[in-house]
Amino acid sequence: MSEQQMGVTGQSDTTAQHAADHPGVDREVIEVKVDYLPAPAPFVRKYRDETVVDTVRTDAMTFFGVKDFQDRNIHKFFLEFEGHILENTSQTLEQLLGPHRRSAHFNLIERVTQGRYPNGLELPTR
Amino acid sequence: MASSYRPVESWVVAEGILRRTLDAVRPIGRSGREAGAFWLGRREPTAHIYTVVLPHGIGVEEQRGRWTVAPEVFGVVTRWAKPRNLCLLGVVHTHLRGVPPVLSWSDRNLGVRFPDTLAAIIGNGGDDSDHLYWGWYVFEDGEYRSLVQDEVRERIRIDPAQQFEVWKADAIGIEQLGV
């Protein structure tokens, strides 16, 4: 079993506290798989269903060695699920998937909001 | 994690991939617009490229001085490619006549930034048919590095084998084209 398949990733301290306040609530565990087109292997990890989408997104980005950044453009990675780009990264996996789903398959894709420098014209120095 | 991937030492590209890439981008280049192609295969120390995906249509902007592919198109290609164990190994696109086949600032920063990803620039809107005269780059240590011609000869081998696949993709779907 590879490193990314071990354990269950939880949520922030706030959510952990929320769970502690509701000890009788059993949380579902969801196995998440994220593919990234250039990478040879997927990111796979188990999460509790109260985990927000952004946690999966950032964990997958770390796994694949990519990051959001801004230069003259804005580079941001998104998860795509069943053909839809997940703009709302604060929703939980339960909200996205429903209450009983145990697995989910995402794709990591990058959106670049471009600057104004087309090829062969003005090429700014870094 | 990305830094732990086994490096790609060389690429073997089916000759038909080169030909079909040129066939696709050249008419668009002659109309004064840039175009491009995705090269896919298995990521291995010797990476074999026997699949080309031609992004065209919805979600693909082929303009003078700019070729862009929307994230939705990448999503379509990813959903199709991963069950086939295919990775994106190279991105090829044209520069128009009068624009040198070198990566511009935009190319370097808007393209796929993943270790050992190839980037190739075909000059003269696709009319430069000899791949040795293309601009070749590989993404290493966080940036694209130019491959000199000797390195291109050494690390990129053209395979005359006829087994290759050609696909066309947009934001709606992907379909196979005849070879």
DSSP conformation class of B164 = -
- What is the ipTM for the molecules in this complex? 0.91
Given a cut of 80, whether residue A117 has pLDDT beyond it is: no
Round to whole Å and give the CA distance between A117 and A35. Answer: 31
Q: Provide mean pLDDT across the span A50-78.
A: 92
pTM as predicted: 0.86
- What SS3 state is found at B84? helix
- pLDDT recorded at residue A70: 81
Given a cut of 70, whether residue B149 has pLDDT beyond it is: yes
C-alpha atoms less than 13 angstroms from C-alpha of B32 in its C-beta half-sphere: 1
Q: Provide mean pLDDT across the span B169-173.
A: 96
pLDDT tens digits along B17-57: 999 999 999 999 999 999 999 999 999 999 999 999 999 99
pLDDT tens digits along A69-92: 887 778 899 999 998 999 999 999
Given a cut of 50, whether residue B112 has pLDDT beyond it is: yes
Neighbouring C-beta atoms of residue B22, cutoff 10 Å: 19
Q: How many CB pairs under 8 A join A and B?
A: 106
Q: What's CA B125's distance to the chain center, in Å? A: 15
- CA A78, A83, A87, A93 dihedral sign is negative
Given a cut of 90, whether residue B1 has pLDDT beyond it is: no
**Gap from B161 CA to chain A (nearest CA, Å):** 24
SS3 annotation, chain A:
CCHHHCCEECCCHHHHHHHHHCCCCCCCEEEEEEEECCCCCCEEEEEECCCEHHHHHHHHHHHHCCCCEECCCEEEEEEEECCEECCCCCCEHHHHHCCCCCEEEEEEEEEEECCCCCCCCCCCCC
Contacts of B82 in chain A (CB under 8 A): 35, 37, 42, 107
Round to whole Å and give the CA distance between B154 and A52. Answer: 47
- pLDDT recorded at residue A4: 40
Question: Which of B71, B105, B106 lies nearest to residue A111, judging by beta carbons?
Answer: B71
